[in-house]
Structure 1
Amino acid sequence: MIRPFDRSRFAILVVEDEPLLLLDALDMVEDAGFTAYGASNADEAIRLLERHDDIRVLFTDVDMPGSMDGLRLAHAVRDRWPPMGIIVASGHIRVKAEELPENGMFFPKPYLPSIVAKTLHTIAERLAA
């Protein structure tokens, strides 16, 4: 018998330096049935990844203050946690496919929450298989 996939045991790390956008994204992730963690910069994100082994997807903004932007964070996460799903978003620049880490996805802002939720479900199902 195949056991149903439990989205609540599959966490998404949202990295966004704008507090209201971070709260909105966290709500979107939770409304989609996933556990959500939030970080306001790359350093905080790395600390959360080191502490929480249930994080399976990084959903990061590109423009952030700190030691690295979201695109560099995405590449660092791909190198250190290879099976991680990665979604990069920006309202200021268009990230080309060749700039993304392997299997990374880009969403221009403003993105539709329903499309992001559907993408998270697709990534979760693929990683759970």
Structure 2
Amino acid sequence: MQEAGLTVLVVEDEPIIRFALVDALEEKGYCVLEASNVLEAVGIIGKVEHIAAVVTDIDMPGGLTGLDLVEILDKSQHQIAVVVTSGGHGPDGLTLPADARFFSKPYHFDDILFALRSTIAAKAKLMKKRRGFRLVRA
């Protein structure tokens, strides 16, 4: 699967981490949207039709966490692949969808890129089976 044209939403409140991840994704050809908290992310998801994946941190300002965002996506946006990151939480005890990926900070950008490729491909295949879903490039 080629990354060119696929849209990824990065939800990260730490600007340096967000900017670095956005740069890494754009270098690989992704169209990248940014949000610094969950409310911004939900607003973007409500306006942009073809988001292939969301990369979100867990701890966020504003009252909602990245886990809240994952729950929202799991209930209403089944076609969006999810990658979760955290510097303060480990994967133990987290309730994530079976197809979501988790990375502790600091992470390697190559690991995130690989996870995106594999989760987007798996999600597209699953959605196609479920209801004729077709991955649309922006």
Q: TM-score, normalised by structure 2?
A: 0.82
The residue aligned with 2:113 is 117
Deviation string, structure 1 residues 59-111 (Cα, Å, up to 9, x no partner): 00001011310111111111110121111100111133751123111101111
CA apart distance, 1:37: 0.5
The residue aligned with 1:23 is 19
SS in 2 for 1:8: coil
CA apart distance, 1:26: 0.7
Deviation string, structure 1 residues 6-58 (Cα, Å, up to 9, x no partner): 52221110000111111011111112221110000000000111111121111
In the alignment, which of 63, 66, 72 is matched to residue 68 of structure 2? 72
Distance in 2, matches of 1:128 and 1:6, equals: 13
CA apart distance, 1:128: 4.2
Distance in 1, matches of 2:5 and 2:93, equals: 30
Distance in 1, matches of 2:51 and 2:22, equals: 14
What is the root-mean-square deviation of aligned Cα atoms in Å? 1.6
Distance in 1, matches of 2:11 and 2:30, equals: 15
Q: TM-score, normalised by structure 1?
A: 0.87
On the 8 A contact 1:43/1:67 being kept in 2, the answer is no
- Give the 4+ runs in structure 1 shifted more than 6 A: none
